């Protein structure tokens, strides 16, 4: 099943504390964003990439895309202040049929595999919206400040990842309604959830980490060295 993908690279990487956008940091000698883009570049089902960057970094990303021969980037979009705005701006430059499938993916998740992309794409085609997620390993406490209120039932908890996949008409309508309601979600499917529409979970991989804090870089470097991702791609 063919799809297009909006890849997000317009964050600042504050929690990484590297003093620059974390997707530009090098892993195995090449920028994180290139590792991510290569997965889509090499996936025959991917028919186009929209890359969302901050306006003042766009030239830098354009050069990387050229230098590393990423040919599927059809458009660049300027990012917004919040991730959700960046997604909205990325979606608005997409040209595709309203029932076609669009994926939204964090540039900071370079370990995504073609196998999982295919699964989440199929699920979105069937259900309208789908996400990759993994069962939560930790016991999660709900607290008010530092006072524990309750322990959540782990068996029903999933940690959301990207890509999240949609029929284009579904995610466009979800953004329209969220803007009207001033709703900000922390992921993309939450905009669809609030409309009461179905969202399907597809079990992903614990390897599909998002590079968020410095220790994630150490783990990512290990994944790269072990080459564990290649047999899944
Ligand atoms: N992102 C984006 N536009 C924003 C914020 C985030 O495109 N306004 C992107 C990031 O580049 C990243 C992905 O969304 O690939 C996931 O966000 P996150 O992990 O929060 O990255 P940052 O916002 O860069 O990091 P931090 O929150 O620590 O500053
Ligand atoms: Mg952020």
Residue with the smallest CA separation from ligand 1 atom 13 is 106
pLDDT in tens, 108-122: 999 999 999 999 999
* CA 146 to centroid of ligand 1, rounded, Å: 27
Mind listing the domains of the chain with CATH numbers? 3-232 (3.90.550.10)
Query: Quick check: 233 pLDDT over 50?
Result: no
Q: Is 162:131 a contact under the CB 8 Å cutoff?
A: yes
Q: Rounded to an integer, what distance in angstroms lies between the CA atom of residue 122 and that of residue 130?
A: 9
pLDDT in tens, 14-55: 999 999 999 999 999 999 999 999 999 999 999 999 999 999
Q: Helix, strand, coil % (nearest 5) of the chain?
A: 40, 25, 35
pLDDT band at 227 (very low <50, low <70, confident <90, very high): confident
Verify whether ligand 1 is closer than 6 Å to residue 6 (CB atom). no
Compute the C-alpha angle 175/165/211, nearest 5°: 95
Cα–Cα distances (Å) from 58 to 24, 61, 175, in that order, read: 12, 5, 24
Res 69: pLDDT: 98
Q: What is the ipTM of this complex?
A: 0.99
Res 124: pLDDT: 98
Q: Mean pLDDT throughout 2-16? A: 98
Closest CA to 118 of 221, 231, 5: 5
Q: At what angle do helices 32-41 and 58-67 cross, to 10 degrees?
A: 60
- Top pLDDT among 68 and 230 is at 68
* CA 126 to centroid of ligand 2, rounded, Å: 30
Verify whether ligand 1 is closer than 6 Å to residue 37 (CB atom). no
Verify whether ligand 1 is closer than 6 Å to residue 52 (CB atom). yes
Q: Rounded to an integer, what distance in angstroms lies between the CA atom of residue 35 and that of residue 67?
A: 13
Res 18: pLDDT: 95
Q: Mean pLDDT throughout 64-77? A: 98
Which pTM value belongs to this model? Answer: 0.96
Q: What rounded mean pLDDT belongs to the chain?
A: 96
Pairing assessment for the beta strands 46-53 and 101-106 based on DSSP bridges? unpaired
Which DSSP helix (H) or strand (E) runs through 161? strand 158-167
Residue 71 has phi, psi (to 5 degrees) of -100, -10
């Amino acid at each position: 099943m063919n799809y297009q993908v909006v890849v997000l690279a317009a964050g600042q990487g504050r929690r990484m504390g590297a003093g620059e956008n974390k997707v530009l940091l090098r892993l195995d000698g090449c920028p994180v964003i290139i590792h991510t883009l290569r997965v889509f570049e090499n996936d025959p089902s991917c028919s186009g990439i929209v890359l969302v960057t901050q306006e003042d970094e766009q030239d830098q990303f354009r050069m990387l895309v050229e230098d590393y021969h990423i040919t599927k980037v059809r458009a660049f979009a300027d990012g917004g202040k919040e991730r959700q705005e960046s997604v909205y701006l990325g979606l608005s430059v997409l040209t595709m049929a309203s029932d076609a499938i669009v994926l939204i993916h964090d540039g900071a998740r370079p370990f995504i595999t073609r196998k999982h992309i295919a699964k989440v794409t199929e699920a979105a085609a069937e259900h309208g919206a789908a996400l990759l997620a993994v069962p939560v390993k930790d016991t999660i406490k709900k607290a008010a400040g530092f006072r524990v209120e309750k322990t959540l039932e782990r068996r029903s908890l999933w940690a959301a990842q990207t890509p999240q996949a949609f029929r284009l008409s579904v995610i466009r309508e979800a953004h329209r309604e969220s803007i009207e309601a001033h709703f900000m979600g922390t992921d993309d499917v939450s905009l669809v959830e609030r409309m009461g529409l179905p969202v399907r979970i597809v079990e992903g991989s614990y390897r599909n980490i998002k590079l968020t804090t410095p220790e994630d870089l150490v783990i990512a470097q290990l994944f790269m060295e072990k080459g564990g991702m290649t047999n899944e791609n």
